[in-house]
Amino acid sequence: MARILVTGTLAIDYAAKYPRTFAGLPRHDGINLSIHLSHIRRDFGGCAMNIAYSLALLGQQPSPFAFVGADYEPDFACHLRALGMDTSGVTMLEEAHSSHAFVITDANQNQFTGFYPGPARSHDFLPRLRAFAERGFDYAVLAPDVPENMVDAARVMVELGIPFLCDPGQGLTDFQPSDSERLTELSSSVILNEYEHRTLQSHVGGALATLDCLIVTLGSAGALWFERGHEAGRVPVVAIDDVTDPTGCGDAFRAGFVDARLRGAEMPDAMRAGALTAAISLTTPGPQRHSFDDYAARYANAWGERPAWLAR
């Protein structure tokens, strides 16, 4: 069991279903249109918390670090404590609202998301994070956050010698090229989806080739990884019949990958683990409702082998 610091946001998600496809909507010069939704649901979310949730289920010891609003109590706080999670890194600001995500998913599992960042940037973010990280961690995951927080978090991890996976995610839409350049310089391992990869590449160009590990998830086409600019391998998705909700499946991938690497898995096995945890999360509504019961058996069923690192 490893102690894993997870930085980023805690969010309250409102997930809605659009029973048709976005592609079938009438085209407009703007996006002034109204659609009828068939379902709405309130969930515990936020990329950092989604990753921490899955890491806890996998038997790791995640400690989230985030700034939240007064609406963190009591429901979200109780949810995290029920998982046995260390929540001492969660700072509640009474006058603020927590981050909120509003996600609409169509019949083809395409999504449109609006995100309110909440109290993401605080004047004491850096000193609080440094003091928290100095408690000692084996690894860190830098989940999507505002640019200043991500760069500061990467700098702290480098200063303290804590290895980390950098996951700028949807936060890249707020990055200036200079932010992306600094974050890439500080990182050795980065994970992105295909769109985020193109965005980061447009900011930093060939600097991505300096990364020891760059993982790009490709949706239904699986995922691939690069080592120092050279493609090193790829994995397909794990086929499932009952896709329920794609929200948070990328976060589940990250948790599965990190868990496997910390247990000694080589890259191909760790990527397979990520593909499996992502597939499992697709079968439940919301990003923090799935379970990993019979995980080792499910891995063996998906990939035809049960490697030694998977002993549980």
pLDDT in tens, the chain (312 residues): 899 999 999 999 999 999 999 999 988 777 788 999 999 999 999 999 999 999 999 999 999 999 999 999 999 999 999 999 999 999 999 889 999 989 899 999 888 888 888 887 778 999 999 999 999 999 999 999 999 999 999 999 999 999 999 999 988 989 999 999 999 999 999 999 999 999 999 999 999 999 999 999 999 999 999 999 999 999 999 999 888 888 899 999 999 999 999 999 999 999 999 999 999 999 999 999 999 999 999 999 999 999 999 986
Q: Report CA torsion sign: 47, 52, 53, 59.
A: positive
- The candidate with the shortest Cα–Cα distance to 100, out of 12, 174, 16, is 12
The residue assigned the tokens 């993401």 is 120
- Tell me if 64 sits within 8 A of 85, measured CB to CB: yes
Residues in CB range of 205: below 8 A, 6 or more apart: none
**Measuring CA to CA, how many Å separate 283 from each of 239, 246, 250, 301?**
11, 8, 13, 17
Question: What are the boundaries of each domain within the chain?
Answer: 3-9+47-98+120-310
**Torsion on CA atoms 84, 49, 274, 233, rounded to nearest 10:** -140
- Tell me if 142 sits within 8 A of 165, measured CB to CB: yes
| Confidence at residue 312, expressed as pLDDT on a 0 to 100 scale | 67
Q: How far apart are CA 151 and CA 145, in angstroms?
A: 10
3-9+47-98+120-310 has CATH 3.40.50.2000 classification: no
